[in-house]
Amino acid sequence: MKNRLQGKTVLVTGASSGIGRATAMEFAAYGANLILAARRVERLEELKVELVQKFKVKVFVIGMDVTHPKQVKTALEHLPDSIVSIDILVNNAGLALGLDTFVDDDVNNWETMIDTNVKGFLTVLRLVTKRMVAQGYGHIINIGSVAGVEAYAKGSVYCATKHAVHAISQGLREEMVEHGIKVSEILPGAVNTEFSTVRFKGDQERADAVYQGFEPLQASDVAELIVYTANLPSHVNLAESLILAARQSRATKIHRQM
């Protein structure tokens, strides 16, 4: 495919690990410059060194927590003068916590997921969308989930947050067509990243069990789809993409060979 990403500037949130990190690597391979945002700045700095050395691209690091609106606003409104535009946003920061029944779940888990997956997602999205409208172009790629189009037991609040991402993406797409700004959503199924380790708060045995008996997606698989979506011609918008492992058909239906 023709490379349409060379020299473009891409903002990736949640870039310190998993899908975000893999996406940064994939964009850099196409010659795109990067703004990497996450809480774990030391990981971002390590990634920056790797990207600059390997791909000779420009990389700017932002240490920010999307659950702190003022911090996000300050970071995104005070980018260096060398960054004249944000061509592409990969709005990726998010998490799941717990897998308990609704009546037994920890309300703190709900608050953290809502603060991150909905409020934090919106904070970044609004600031970057305003910038793109002002500059007259851009491509927003929101990272949703299969949980955004179907709900499952013991995950109702997480699913609700991803349903919000899905609805916001659809509504924003309706608004942005007049501005020539594309809005896409990637909806992954099971991806072997830190996702389950975070969900189960460091219980690695329980996290590993999620991916046993089948070959799950890897972060690089999702990153490849994200970059493919971004690399399409300007008149083409791959609006929604549900990406699943070959052995997964629904959020909770996976054929395992034990």
Instruction: Give the active site residues.
Output: 158, 162
Q: Provide DSSP, 45-111.
A: HHHHHHHHHHH---EEEEE--TT-HHHHHHHHHS--TT-----EEEE----------TTTS-HHHHH
Of 252, 255, 228, nearest in space to 241 by CA:
228
- DSSP category for residue 119: I
Q: Which of 161, 165, 177 lies closest to 141 in space, CA to CA?
A: 165
Give the integer Cα–Cα distance in Å for 106 and 209. Answer: 22
User: Residue 140 carries which side chain, given as an amino acid letter?
Assistant: I
| 179, amino acid identity | H
Read off the amino acid at residue 88: I
